[in-house]
């Protein structure tokens, strides 16, 4: 039985009294006196999760000045000291994972298990980058001139503006802020105003861990504040994850300023199920990829390509399982899928599904219609699968919700070319045990991340993450690639005087 949003008013263990939002500016917690900000539960939009005011204008300048002042000291702080703070922050995140994970679920709408898992994931990311600080900080090259050495040093960039999305309120900030700090940069961070509470929690963890004043500032605000931060004259580099349209605007602004920018943007990621694949495994992974986090991941599986000989059987098994998913209060332990982040997001996605199902030849295999029970007051959408007659806006446009579009392929080559259609190239999943097909996928598919026999989402902290084509701009995130963005090289020619030439 699907769970209804109203059936579990007491779900979860924490008090439901609204939390207070605050900004961290130059080492001080401030309440802000911009417009009022109401942070609501997407499952019950009349319930307030947190309350506060947007950052006022002067906060931005103060935060950037504090970050500039703190930079030389932080960059010169021994890496072990920086690493100790990151480790302590990781321990605090782990210790609070249950409570903060629950708040995350309450605020963002992903299930409680996913919320807790995300806080723990952020702790792992902090640990990884704490250790990263002990790795080599440069390379030594031979010189064509006798007696000389050429040293390439990696130095921090300076003040980094961090702009993060709503869908991973803690993990995405962690994989930007942790490397920024570990390599000796200071940070001014503007999270999505839809998930400000978890941003406050992460900043609290870092303050409690002993981060010096000014090294991190947190400003809660809307898009205009983000633009002013990105273009602020005191900022040296910008890292962004979010929508393609906002990302392109930031990239253009940074281009005008000749400012380094790293942007992770949209995806329209395909799962390709080939004849001969383990269908049980593929069904389970496609469902996880498409509907976990209510499909709100840039890496979510939003397209399915299935090879003709197994299409009927695969789609039957898939739709049966999708229709049985429990959609409801994310804090209820039986819930498989919570709401999307807001009523506006819900309506936009539903409109796109309605338009697609009205186009001739397209068939809704699961979901498709909005709820008419008590879930209709929340940002709930049913998990939806639509088989398309051919190319279609639903095949190309990122909806960022629980919608999977399907096409059938004549053969392996056709399957890979369908999967590569469109402007994005973030991730893909291929289900097969055929080594030749795996080799072709690895060689030909134009994506930044490829999974074989696992869902299209997921990113480990120690390996590069990022997309091809319109999905990303600038250096990749995570692993050693993070160093490329969060440091700049200085090439030092060292020639002792008196060397015979």
Give the binding range for ligand UN1 (CB under 6 A) out of 52-60, 65-73, 402-410, 452-460: 452-460
CB 66 within 8 A of CB 213: yes
Give the binding range for ligand UN1 (CB under 6 A) out of 59-67, 302-310, 378-386, 455-463: 455-463
Using the minimum distance from each CB to ligand UN1, give the nearer residue, 32 or 266: 266
Bridging pattern class, strands 138-142 and 44-53: unpaired
Residue indicated by tokens 């015979």: 500
Using the minimum distance from each CB to ligand UN1, give the nearer residue, 301 or 350: 301
d(CA 29, CA 431) in angstroms, rounded, equals 49
Give the binding range for ligand UN1 (CB under 6 A) out of 163-171, 209-217, 343-351, 432-440: 163-171
Closest distance of CB 298 from ligand UN1, Å: 4
Using the minimum distance from each CB to ligand UN1, give the nearer residue, 11 or 482: 482
d(CA 72, CA 110) in angstroms, rounded, equals 39
Give the per-residue contact string, 165-194, with ligand UN1 (x = CB under 6 A; - = no): x-xx---x----------------------
Give the per-residue contact string, 287-326, with ligand UN1 (x = CB under 6 A; - = no): ----------xxx---------------------------
> Which strands sit side by side in the sheet containing 23-25, from one edge to the other?
28-30, 23-25, 216-218, 186-190, 159-163, 237-241, 261-264, 472-473
* Secondary structure E strands in 31-148: 36-41, 44-53, 138-142
Q: Is 298 noted as a catalytic residue in this protein?
A: yes
Residue 389, C-beta contacts closer than 8 angstroms, at least 6 positions apart:
359, 360, 361, 362
Using the minimum distance from each CB to ligand UN1, give the nearer residue, 265 or 441: 265
- Please identify which of the residues 124, 298, 387, 477 carries the catalytic annotation: 298
CB 45 within 8 A of CB 15: no
Using the minimum distance from each CB to ligand UN1, give the nearer residue, 215 or 399: 399
Residue from 4, 41, 239, 241 in contact with ligand UN1 (CB under 6 A): 241
d(CA 397, CA 205) in angstroms, rounded, equals 37
The answer to whether 457 contacts ligand UN1 (rule: CB under 6 A) is yes
- First-to-final CA distance of the chain: 84
CB 421 within 8 A of CB 392: no
The residue count for binding ligand UN1 (CB under 6 A) is: 12
Q: Is 264 noted as a catalytic residue in this protein?
A: yes
Closest distance of CB 325 from ligand UN1, Å: 19
The answer to whether 459 contacts ligand UN1 (rule: CB under 6 A) is yes
| Whole-Å CA distances, 403 to 222, 305, 492 | 27, 14, 53
Binding residues (CB under 6 A) for ligand UN1: these are 165, 167-168, 172, 241, 264, 297-299, 457-459
Q: Which are the catalytic amino acids?
A: 264, 298
């Amino acid at each position: 039985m699907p769970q209804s949003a109203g059936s579990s008013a007491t779900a979860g263990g924490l008090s439901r009294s609204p939390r207070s939002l605050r900004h961290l500016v130059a080492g001080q917690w401030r309440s802000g006196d911009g417009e009022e900000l109401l942070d609501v539960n997407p499952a019950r939009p009349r319930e307030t999760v947190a309350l506060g005011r947007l950052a006022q204008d002067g906060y931005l300048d103060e935060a950037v000045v504090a970050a500039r002042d703190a930079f030389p000291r932080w960059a010169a702080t021994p890496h072990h000291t920086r690493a100790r703070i990151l480790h302590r922050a990781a321990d605090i995140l782990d210790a609070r994972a249950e409570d903060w994970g629950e708040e995350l679920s309450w605020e963002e709408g992903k299930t409680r298990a996913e919320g807790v898992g995300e806080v723990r994931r952020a702790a792992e990311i902090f640990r990884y980058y704490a250790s990263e600080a002990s790795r080599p900080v440069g390379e030594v090259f031979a010189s064509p001139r006798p007696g000389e050495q050429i040293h390439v040093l990696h130095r921090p960039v300076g003040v980094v503006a961090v702009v993060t999305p709503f869908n991973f309120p803690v993990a995405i900030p962690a994989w930007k802020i942790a490397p920024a700090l570990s390599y000796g940069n200071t940070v001014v961070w503007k999270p999505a105003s839809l998930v400000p509470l978890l941003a406050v929690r992460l900043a609290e963890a870092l303050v409690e861990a002993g981060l010096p004043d000014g090294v991190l500032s947190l400003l809660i605000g809307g898009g205009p504040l983000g633009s002013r931060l990105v273009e602020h004259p005191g900022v040296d580099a910008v890292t962004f994850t979010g929508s393609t349209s906002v990302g392109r605007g930031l990239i253009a602004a940074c281009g005008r300023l000749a400012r380094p920018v790293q942007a992770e943007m949209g995806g329209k990621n395909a799962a390709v199920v080939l004849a001969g694949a383990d269908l049980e495994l593929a069904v389970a992974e496609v469902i996880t990829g498409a509907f976990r986090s209510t499909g709100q991941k840039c890496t979510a599986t939003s397209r399915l390509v299935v090879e003709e000989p197994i299409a009927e059987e695969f789609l039957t098994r898939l739709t049966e399982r999708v229709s049985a998913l429990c959609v409801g209060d994310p804090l209820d332990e039986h819930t498989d899928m919570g709401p999307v982040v807001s009523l506006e997001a819900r309506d936009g996605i539903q409109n796109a599904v309605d338009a697609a199902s009205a186009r001739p030849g397209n068939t809704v295999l699961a979901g498709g219609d909005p709820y008419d029970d008590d879930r209709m007051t929340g940002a709930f959408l049913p998990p939806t699968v639509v088989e398309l007659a051919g190319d279609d806006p639903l095949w190309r446009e990122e909806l960022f919700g629980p919608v999977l579009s399907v096409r059938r392929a004549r053969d392996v080559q056709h399957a890979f070319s369908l999967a590569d259609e469109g402007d994005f190239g973030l991730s893909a999943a291929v289900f097969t045990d055929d080594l030749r097909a795996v080799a072709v996928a690895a060689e030909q598919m134009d994506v930044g991340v490829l999974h074989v026999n696992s869902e299209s989402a997921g990113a480990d902290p120690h390996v590069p993450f990022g997309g091809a084509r319109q999905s990303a701009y600038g250096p990749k995130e995570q692993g050693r690639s993070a160093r490329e963005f969060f440091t700049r090289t200085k090439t030092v020619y060292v020639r002792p005087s008196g060397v015979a030439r």
